[in-house]
Amino acid sequence: MAKITYIEHNGTQHSVDVKNGLTVMEGARNNNIPGIEADCGGACACSTCHVYVDAKWVDKMPSLGDLEEDMLDFAYDPDPQRSRLTCQIKVTDELDGLVVQMPERQL
C-alpha cells in the first residue's frame, strides 16, 4: 500500500492510502478525489487523468509508454518532464509518498 497525495489545482491536498496493484487513477476515483475525470476508465484512450508528478518523484516513476506519450499530446498544458497519465501508473510500495498535482482542467 502507498500513501499518495493528490493536489488540486487550487492547492487543496488529499492524502489517501492506495492498494498495490491499483493505478494512481483508480486511487483517485475510489477516494472521490476531484480533478481526475478518467473518462475512458483507464484504457489510455484519453488524457482526462493527466497530472504533474512532483519533481522529487520524476526519476522514480515507471517508464513512459508509447501510447501514454501519444495521449499526453492531447492533455491540457503538458510538461515534458512531469506530465503523466495516472491510469498508466501502477501503485507499488516504492510509490509510497508520491505527490501529484492536477492541471487547471482536463481535456
pLDDT on residue 37: 95
The domain spanning residue 48 has which CATH number? Answer: 3.10.20.30
pLDDT digits (tens, 9 = 90+) for 27-42: 999 999 999 999 999 9
pLDDT digits (tens, 9 = 90+) for 39-88: 999 999 999 999 999 999 999 999 999 999 999 999 999 999 999 999 99
Residues in the chain: 107
Structural domain contains residue 106: no
Q: How far apart are CA 105 and CA 89, in angstroms?
A: 20
Structural domain contains residue 90: yes
Domain ranges, residue 43: 2-101
**Would you place residue 7 in the very low, low, confident or very high pLDDT band (cuts 50, 70, 90)?**
very high
Predicted TM-score (pTM) of this structure = 0.96
pLDDT digits (tens, 9 = 90+) for 16-25: 999 999 999 9
pLDDT on residue 100: 98
Q: What is the tally of structural domains in the chain?
A: 1
| Count of CB atoms situated within 10 Å of the CB of 10 | 9
Which of 80, 79, 75 has its CA nearest to residue 36? Answer: 75
Structural domain contains residue 40: yes
Structural domain contains residue 75: yes
pLDDT on residue 10: 97
Q: Enumerate residues 6+ apart whose C-beta is below 8 A from 6.
A: 13, 14, 15, 16, 28, 33, 35, 36, 51, 100, 101, 102
Structural domain contains residue 35: yes
